[in-house]
Every structure is written in structure tokens, then in C-alpha cells.
A and B are shown apart, each in its own frame.
Chain A
Amino acid sequence: MEHLLVPPAGASFLGIPAIIFSLLIPVAGVCTFVYILTRRIAPLVMAAPDPRLDNVVGRAINTVKFAVGQYRQPRYMMAGVLHIVIFAGFCVLSLRSITLVMVGVSSDFALPGMDGFLGEVYGVFKDFVATFVLAACVTAAVRRGIFKPERYAVPPALGKEHTGEAVLILGLISGLMLADMCFEGSLAAAYLQKGMEPEALVVPGTGTWFAVQFMDQMPLAKLQRIHLGAYFAHEIIFFTFLCLLPLGKHFHVITSIPNVFLSKLKKGSVKPVKWGVPEEKVLDLESLGVKKITDFTWKHILDFYTCADCGRCSDQCPANAVGRPLSPRFISVKSREHLYKSFPIWGEPKAKVDEPLIGGIFSEDEIWSCTTCGACEAECPIFIEYIDKMVDLRRGMVDDGNVPQSLQKPLGSLEKRGNPYGIMERKRADWVKEIAEQCPVRVLDPKKGDTAPTLYFVDSITSFDEQIQSIGQSAARVLTAAGIEFGILGPAESDSGHEVRRFGEESLFMELKDRNTEAILESGAQRIVTTDPHAFNALSKDYQGLPKVEHISQVILRAIQEGKLRLKPTEDSAAVYTYHDPCYLGRHNGLYAEPRSVLDAIPGLRRVEMKKSFDRSFCCGGGGLMLFYEPVEETRMGKLRVGMARSAGANVIVTACPFCKVNIEDGIKTSGLEGKMQVIDLVELVDRHLVR
């Protein structure tokens, strides 16, 4: 076929057929790329095992919804839309890119099925897409380079700004778009000059069309140079881009889709100490937890590669918000840098693989600061996991005896007395004495063979903290009013161990779990109900072989729907309520609607929603052992949360977790809002409104 301009496949530079370059560039590019990938795979091979191929269908659905569908991107609208455009553009233009590479060798190359009408439609479509991508890249570059949104900032202690890398990549992508527009545009301009219709349709408004306008008066020789120059510019940029990807934060372009496919399905659970090692053998392991970088599982290392440095996790992180030394984004970024230094592409390693992470790239406080609220994981568009990593790092510290003094006492008390307060076990059911007359509670004595159909698992704080015992008492009254026959384990109950596990003390957790499991099974209960979301999460996710566990909000809602509980109208017309989603009820267990439905069942109750609610709920400060830890922080999470409730126009905060109540109560006091703000637990509120 006759070509108005010499195509790349037919050209030559200084006597050398250009086709040589058309082959050399891709070959060199791909070889370099493959080599870089093998270096990147090296630590994955040394890492700990991690089975991620269960429930393939579920994983595939996740991949379609979250990776291809970019489902979480719009949570930050501006960046989200820009990214969706660029990502979608990438997907669409991938066909064009492959075609272009082949065109350098065979001028009339077209992908199978693309040489007819479909090819023409695609040709137009891709022009639009490329234009949008270019516009998005320019917008993004201006946004990153000039407006510099907060969440991309790098604290000086952690190195230089990452803006340069971002703008470079945006520049390269823009370059790819422009190169193709010029490659096509130059040919189209040549046709137009000859008074012919261009082979490929050029639609006004697209970038290619603008290129044509720009070039339509140029002499043929110049068009020829632009044609060839644009082509090879495209190829060089393309393969450079490809090889740059595994060198920085744009590795996610390659790894994000697999990362979503391989992501953790069982939310709220904690990974075992080592996959493949059964519980009985765990304590025989040489070393527990993560101490050096290759102790992480291969999936965690893949996570580090996949982090796009977008900062959304840290933006949502409550520990970060109160000035603790933790920023989830930098957990990933620092780990990645450490990996790159320990496994360099070429040259000597600039960091030792065996270097201890704690005291090296991480500080102890940084790792102890995490409340495991899961806001980071809920936000990450590409499903990077953090909680398991924090737990693993803590396991490593515990294994080395490196536990803050403030936590050693409650841990010792948990071991000796089954509760972090050090109070004697036989007092665990003392809270029922106060209400013994109006609402007797059965304390099941295993020695007497006591059983009950429903077990109310109270857990430590509700049993011992005098301000929180009221939650237990209200629960007793509400369960009784709903006609539910229940008992409590009393002294036979030990702390659920939820935070013990998440703070890395796996051996103590296993002890508590075994004690509780035995006591629960002996009680003969067919279902368990609890007012404590941490206990709820522990019993449903960390324990095995137990009957069904429910949170009290689920039980109350069902009882209301079945007419077993009736609620009277609200008495305080000045009260404006807002519901605070506890992390372990909401994010980790998806129970958002039930507590709200319960509240809405109280006639006349005015309820407003805080901006940060549902899966964006802001952690109150943490529960269990976190109440004993002494973090270095600028303010407290509870205080910030109270401020959020005020901004929403509420004066009563309703929560469904005893730890949330403690932290928010503290927040009210330290904000000087006593008398103006109140906090109440859901079951206490229901108790007050019961029609008896």
C-alpha cells in the first residue's frame, strides 16, 4: 500500500533501517523490565507464606468492583475522577500501545478483528480517550506541583517530597499521548495537504485534531520528521515508562489488580503467627512475629510495592490525626525503600536485609500507636493491609521482651487474674449484686453444671469498671424484658483477649481463648450475645468452635421487630442524638444499620449523622490494652470525636461499645463540655425507653 509519509517500518536513520530500532527498543525495554522484575521478586521468594487463593469467585468479584471498577476512588472526588480517567484511559489505550509497537515492524499491522469497522471505531474512541487522559494529566500535574494538597506532604524527617516523581510520571504519560497525537496528526496533515481524506478519521476537538490544525501548513519533509520522531519518541517513552514503574510508587500500575485479587477476605480477623503452622506448634517456633523485612509474608511485601503513596490512609488514620508518630502511608513507603535498598536493581545493597526493623526504619511508639481501627484499610483504593502487619511487628517486639512498661502490668494481670485491672476473679460478677432485686442475673457455675440457652459474654471492662457496669445492668434488664433466658459466666469468664492478640501477645491470647472456649462450651449456650464489639469480634473471628455470636444491637432490633420490646417516646425534646460507629461493630463487622434502626425505633428521637460516619467513622481512641498505653500525642481521639459531634449539631452521642463510652466521656470532660454534651450506650438508652 502506498504511504504518503514513510512509515517507521520503512524508514532509515543514517543508513540503518529504522526497523532495527523498532525491534531493539522493545527488546531492550522488555529485557530490562523483566530483569528488574526478577530483582523485585527476590524478597517475595524469601518471605513468609500466605495462602490467598481461596474463594476465587469472591476474589474475582472484588477485582472487578474495586480494581477495574475503581470503586473507592471517588471517596476523594477530585483525585478520584482524575485517576479514573487516567486508569480507564490506560486500559483503553493498551490496545493502541501494542499496535504501535508492532507498527514499527510491520506498517499495516492491526490486532485481530481490528482491521475493519471495529478498528475505525476504536481509532476515534481512542483519540477521545487520549485527549481526556492528557487533560487529566495536566490537571493532576498542576494540582500536585502547584497546589500541593496536604496529604502528599512528606515530613522533613522522612526525606524529600515525592512531587518530582509524580510530575515526572504524569509528564511521561502526557508525552505518550502527545507523541501518538503527533504521529497520527502528522500523517493526517499530509493527507489533507494533498487534498485527500486521512486514512484514520480525525474528529474535531480531539488532541489529534488539534495536532493536525497545528501541522497543516508544514512542509512534507517536516511532517515526515515529526512522523518518525513522534513514533520513536512514543516507543522510547513507553519502554522507559515501563521500566520506571517497578522503581517507585508507580509499581502499583502493575501490581494493583493482582493485589486486589489477592486481598484479605476475612475482615476483622488476625492472621495466624505463621501460615501453615498449627496453633499447637506456634510456641515451638524459633522466633515469633516480624523482626526483619523478609519476615513479612510475600503478600505484605507485595503491598509495599503496591502503595501508590496517595496518602488517603494517613489522612483517615486517627493516630495520625492526634499527632502520634504513626502514619500508615509511611509504614508502606519506608518498607518499600528498605526493600529497594536491600535488594537493589544493580550494585551493592545499601541496607542489610537482616537489619531489625524496630529501632531501624520504625520506632517502637510508631508501632504501638495503632488502635487497629481499620480506617486505613477501608480507605485504600488498592486494598493494602495494615493491621496484620502491625500485629506481626508487635509479635516480634513481644518475642524480644520489648513491651512498654505501661502494658506489662495489665498483661501480667490478664495472665494472673483474667482481667487487665488485677482485680480478683471472684469479683467479676459483683456488678449483678446491685440489681439483684429488680433484675436477677444467673451466674453460671460450671462446677454445678449450670447451663443457659443464651450466654451474655460481659468481658472485663463491663464487669469491673464502675462507670461501665451500668451497660451490663441495662443489658440484663433489656434481655429480660425481651424474654431472653440468659446467664453469665462470672468468675469463669476471662478477658476475651481481643487486644492481647492485637498487641502481639499470642501465647497469652491462646491461654485466654482456651479458658473461655471451655467455659462457654460448658455453659451449653446455643448463642452468645455481647454488648462489647471487641468481645464480639474476638469470639466470632479469633475463636473457633463457638455457637453463633451476636451484638446486642442485633438482638434488640429483632426483638423490636418481633414486638417483644416496645419503646416509649423520647422525653427530652432538646436532645439531638448522633450515633458513633464503633470500629469493631462498623468497619470490621459491617453492623451499621442495626444500631441506627434501634435508635430510629424510639418515637420522636432526633438523630443527625456526623460527617465521618459508617466506614469513615473516627476511632474513639481504642479499647482493651490501648487504654493502658501511654502514647505521645498532641490531642486525644475522643476529644476530636466530641468536636465532630458538636459540628453535626448533636448534644448526645450514642455509642455501642464500652470503650467508646469511656473515651468519649473523657473527651467531653477535657473539652470542658460537661453538662452540654452527653454520651450514652445504645443499650442504656433502650433501657431508659423500655415500655415495661
Chain B
Amino acid sequence: MEILVCVKRVPDTAENEIEVGPAGADIKRSDLVYSVNEWDNYAVEEALQIREKVGGSVTVVTVGDADSEEVLRREMAMGADTGVLLSDQAFKNSDGLGIAKILQGEVLKGKYDLVMTGALADDGAGQVGGMLAALLDYPYASLVNMIEVQDGKLTVGREIEGGNQEVSQIELPCVLSIQTGINEPRYVGIRGIRKVASVEIPVRGAGDLGLSPDAVGAAGARVKRVDYFVPPLGEGAEILEGSMDEQVEKLIDILKSKGGIK
């Protein structure tokens, strides 16, 4: 099975404190460490396991700049056969649809049976996979937490509310967005990355993908972030006074307003 996995380089939420930068134009990036989006990593691991079972190849692709290469190399160190970087000035500040169009260009250059993305990334939008599927007119399933391949047919499980799993059969070629916990990704260390340090990673721009600059990038974006901000928060815990009954009443009011009581 020929598999393409779309990955993204994001600030690591586990290891960073995200703060709003001056005038809310961006988050403060000076101290941030980046890594591959956690969901995308699960997707790559899943692709590798499918390849181990039925053969084929795994390609990882990202839309970004020279820095994004490190994420491709990490996934190649994990076992992906090829990495492709889609980079162009024209791609900057694309919205989700723009990214999807760029990725569509890459999918059409190859013959992929299966395209995977992570279900969510740093902006929590969870949109690129579904958009890509619609652009390609492929069937789609989101929040996939189980994939079974049998005789070239796919059965997938989706994570739905209540911790339940919705099982479906889906035709190939298709796009799947992958939920965390679908597998246990193998470890990639510094050594693994050194081993792939000099492997060639092709770079493709708007022209190579047959995209017109006003379809992507800031020019083509319909959804734009205006600014970042932090809603005002109180300082430390507000300790409630009064009798136990009074405190309980107050607590419940506060909890209700904060969505702590459904």
C-alpha cells in the first residue's frame, strides 16, 4: 500500500508555556521548542505498521520552510521511506483550505492508496484532512483509532463520544485523520536521526504543484487570525468564606458558569 502521511512542525505543548506576544500578533516564540505534531506521529507509526503487514511505502510530507525539514527527518528516522518538503513564499499564512490545496497538489503527483493526517494540531482546528479528502473527492474518516487492512480493503474505527468506537468500511483511495492512542509509536532518538541526516529531501514549490499563488497563502485565505489574547484570569485561588452551606452554594454557582456541572 502506498501511503502518504501529512505532518506538521508545531511548538511542543508539553514542553512549552505558550504566551501571547506583543500586541497579540503572535505567540512568543523565542523560547519554544518544536517537534512533530503528536497526532501526526501516531499516523506515521500506523502507516509503518501497515507497511510491515502488507508491504508498500510510506512517504511523509509537510508544508513549511527549511526548519520543517527536521520533522521530516525525524519521521524518516522512525522508518518512513521518503520525505517531501512543500515550501514556497506564496504558501505563507495559508488558512486550512490553503494547506489542503497545497497537499492536494502533492497527492496528485503520486499514486497513493491512503492519505493520513493527524486529527488535530496546535491550532486545534482538525480540518485539513477533511478538506483534503473533499478536494480529492476521496472518502474520509476522522478521529480514526483503529485500522484493519484485509485484501486491500480497510475497516476503520472512529473514536466517538462516551469512549465508544464507530466501525466502518471505507473504500480506497481514502483520507484518514488519526487520533492519538491508536498505537504505541516507536522511539526515535538522536542516533536514529543522525542516520538519516544526509538523505535527500526534495523541495517543491507552487509551480511544481501546479498551484496559482492567489489560491493559497495569505492571498487565498478566507479564515484569518486577527490576534492572540488571553482572557483575564484571577490571581491564585479565590478562597471562599462563610459557612459550609454558603461556600457550597457559591461553589456551585461558579462551577455552573464555568461548565463544571453539565
Check A-B contact in the complex, CB < 8 A.
yes
Contact present for A403 and B190 (CB under 8 Å): no
| 1/0 contact string of B171-203 vs chain A (CB within 8 Å) | 000000000000011111111101000000000
Contacts of A411 in B (CB 8 A): 187, 189
Contacts of B17 in A (CB 8 A): 424
Least CB distance, B52 to chain A, in whole angstroms:
12
Residue A508, interface by CB 8 Å = yes
| 1/0 contact string of A280-306 vs chain B (CB within 8 Å) | 000100001000000000000000000
Question: Which of the residues A402, A407, A413, A511 comes within 8 Å of B190, measured between beta carbons?
Answer: A511
Q: Which of B31, B185, B188, B191 has the most CB of A within 10 A?
A: B191
Question: Which of the residues A405, A409, A416, A507 comes within 8 Å of B189, measured between beta carbons?
Answer: A507
Residue A229, interface by CB 8 Å = no
Least CB distance, B199 to chain A, in whole angstroms:
16
A402 to B33, CA, bound (A): 24
Measured as residues with beta carbon below 8 angstroms from the partner, the interface class of chain B is 10 to 19
Question: Which of the residues B33, B186, B188, B191 comes within 8 Å of A288, measured between beta carbons?
Answer: B191
Residue A426, interface by CB 8 Å = yes
A399 to B190, CA, bound (A): 10
Contacts of A511 in B (CB 8 A): 190
Chain A residue with Cβ nearest B31: A424
Residue B159, interface by CB 8 Å = no
Least CB distance, B112 to chain A, in whole angstroms:
25
Would you call the interface of chain B mostly helix, strand, loop, or mixed?
A: loop
Residue B16, interface by CB 8 Å = yes
Contacts of A505 in B (CB 8 A): 189
Residue B78, interface by CB 8 Å = yes
Number of interface residues of A (CB under 8 A): 27
Contact present for B190 and A507 (CB under 8 Å): yes
Least CB distance, B226 to chain A, in whole angstroms:
28
Contact present for A401 and B188 (CB under 8 Å): yes
Residue A415, interface by CB 8 Å = yes
Contact present for B187 and A413 (CB under 8 Å): no
Contacts of B192 in A (CB 8 A): 401
Chain A residue with Cβ nearest B13: A422
Least CB distance, B73 to chain A, in whole angstroms:
14
Chain A residues numbered 155-186 whose CB sits less than 8 Å from any CB in chain B: none
Contact present for B191 and A403 (CB under 8 Å): no
Contacts of A401 in B (CB 8 A): 78, 186-188, 192
Residue A408, interface by CB 8 Å = yes
Contact present for B184 and A416 (CB under 8 Å): no
Least CB distance, A196 to chain B, in whole angstroms:
81
Residue B245, interface by CB 8 Å = no
Contact present for B189 and A508 (CB under 8 Å): yes
Contacts of A423 in B (CB 8 A): 15
A400 to B186, CA, bound (A): 8
Chain B residues numbered 42-60 whose CB sits less than 8 Å from any CB in chain A: none
Residue A649, interface by CB 8 Å = no
Contact present for B78 and A424 (CB under 8 Å): no
A402 to B189, CA, bound (A): 11
Least CB distance, B78 to chain A, in whole angstroms:
7
Question: Which of the residues A283, A399, A416 comes within 8 Å of B33, measured between beta carbons?
Answer: A416
Contact present for A402 and B15 (CB under 8 Å): no
A417 to B188, CA, bound (A): 17
Least CB distance, B93 to chain A, in whole angstroms:
27
Contacts of A415 in B (CB 8 A): 190
Contact present for B190 and A398 (CB under 8 Å): no
Residue B237, interface by CB 8 Å = no
A402 to B188, CA, bound (A): 9
Residue B230, interface by CB 8 Å = no
Residue A412, interface by CB 8 Å = yes
A292 to B106, CA, bound (A): 42
| 1/0 contact string of A501-523 vs chain B (CB within 8 Å) | 00001111001000000000000
A412 to B194, CA, bound (A): 16
Chain A residue with Cβ nearest B195: A283
Least CB distance, A668 to chain B, in whole angstroms:
27
Contacts of A398 in B (CB 8 A): 187, 189
Least CB distance, A205 to chain B, in whole angstroms:
67
Chain A residues numbered 367-418 whose CB sits less than 8 Å from any CB in chain B: 398-403, 405, 407-409, 411-413, 415-417
Chain B residues numbered 12-36 whose CB sits less than 8 Å from any CB in chain A: 12, 14-17, 31, 33, 35
Contact present for B186 and A422 (CB under 8 Å): no
A423 to B14, CA, bound (A): 8
Chain A residue with Cβ nearest B191: A507
Contact present for B12 and A416 (CB under 8 Å): yes
A283-B194, A422-B14, A507-B194 given as contacts; is B187 within 8 A of A417 (CB)?
Answer: no
Least CB distance, B42 to chain A, in whole angstroms:
11
Q: Which of B17, B31, B33, B185 has the most CB of A within 10 A?
A: B33
A648 to B8, CA, bound (A): 57
A405 to B41, CA, bound (A): 13
Least CB distance, A509 to chain B, in whole angstroms:
10
Chain A residue with Cβ nearest B16: A424
Least CB distance, A628 to chain B, in whole angstroms:
13
Least CB distance, A675 to chain B, in whole angstroms:
25
A403 to B14, CA, bound (A): 19
Contact present for A402 and B14 (CB under 8 Å): no
Chain A residue with Cβ nearest B14: A422
A422 to B191, CA, bound (A): 21
A398 to B189, CA, bound (A): 8
Contact present for B12 and A399 (CB under 8 Å): no
A350 to B33, CA, bound (A): 51
Contact present for A402 and B187 (CB under 8 Å): yes
Contacts of A507 in B (CB 8 A): 189-191, 194
Contacts of A283 in B (CB 8 A): 190-191, 194
A283-B194, A401-B78, A409-B14 given as contacts; is B35 within 8 A of A416 (CB)?
Answer: yes
A sample of 6 inter-chain contacts (CB < 8 A) reads: A405-B185, A408-B185, A411-B187, A417-B33, A423-B15, A424-B17
Which B residues contact A (CB, under 8 angstroms)? 12, 14-17, 31, 33, 35, 78, 184-192, 194
Extra 19 A-B pairs, beta carbons < 8 Å, given A401-B187, A507-B194? A283-B190, A283-B191, A398-B187, A399-B191, A401-B78, A401-B186, A402-B187, A403-B187, A411-B187, A411-B189, A412-B12, A412-B35, A413-B14, A416-B15, A424-B15, A424-B16, A424-B17, A424-B31, A507-B191
Q: Which 4 pairs, one residue from A and one from B, show the smallest C-beta to C-beta distance?
A: A401-B186, A403-B187, A422-B15, A507-B191
